[in-house]
Amino acid sequence: MHISVAGKQIDLSDALKHRVSAHLDRISEKYFGQAMEARVTFSRARSFFTCDINIHATRGLTLRGEGEAADAHAAFDDAAEHIARRLRRYHRKATNHGHLKARQQVPEIGRGYVLRPGMPQDGAMDAAAIDGEAPLEEEEASLPATGPYATIIAEHPTEIPTLSVSEAVMRLDLADSQIQLFRDSTTDTVNVLYRRPDGNIGWLDPTARPHN
């Protein structure tokens, strides 16, 4: 597995980098045989260190953990424990992830857009310029208009995997993400999982009929 360990405006010791690599290799071997890549980033905020771990285990399956502590080693331990806790929750599915990879269809590719709240069309300046950012490139400026109240500032391909609801929940939780778009393997319709403000997971199913 390719592992990159970096610090934002802080120097990292060789001992810490070696410890991070060895620990993530053990996680990879235990649950996935061999993951694809991992990125670990350390930074410092006032009196404590933060650590962000992103592991690309297999296609479409990402693990993420964040931690903070008084020193970099403890911050890494905190982030790694967050990942381990999620993996223990899905131990059987995670260790048997090959069955999902084997049966999964090639994911559909959609388009994802990043929108910035815009200004009325009679505004003389682009919102990006007002924010002090570089103006949109010509290619970005040619993206479809969304009306006077939003501006598309970026676009990117987005995979829509075919999953069961339980598999989609696992991916959402392991990646610690806010939303999971997927095609339901049972109904063959596009569904959405999302994190609710109360901590639960919401599920949008277009095939469900409202109760009378």
The CATH H-level superfamily of 2-97 is Ribosome hibernation promotion factor-like (3.30.160.100)
Looking at the chain, the domain(s) classified CATH 3.30.160.100 span: 2-97
Q: What is the pLDDT of residues 97-148, one digit of tens each?
A: 554 454 445 678 888 888 888 654 444 444 444 444 444 555 545 555 555 6
SS percent in the chain: helix, strand, coil, step 5:
30, 35, 35
Give 150's contacts (C-beta < 8 A, 6+ positions apart): 115, 116, 117, 118
DSSP state at residue 8 = S
Q: Averaged over 54-72, what is the pLDDT?
A: 89
- How far apart are the C-alpha atoms of 185 and 63, rounded to whole Å? 22
> 149 vs 165, which has greater pLDDT?
165
CB–CB of 102/60 below 8 Å? no
User: What is the per-residue pLDDT for 131?
Assistant: 45
Buried b (16+ CB within 10 A) or exposed e, 44-64: eeeeebbbbbbbbbbebbbbb
Give 210's contacts (C-beta < 8 A, 6+ positions apart): none
Does 13 have pLDDT greater than 50?
Answer: yes
What does each C-alpha distance from 65 to 11, 130, 132, 179 come to in angstroms?
21, 35, 32, 16
CB–CB of 207/189 below 8 Å? yes
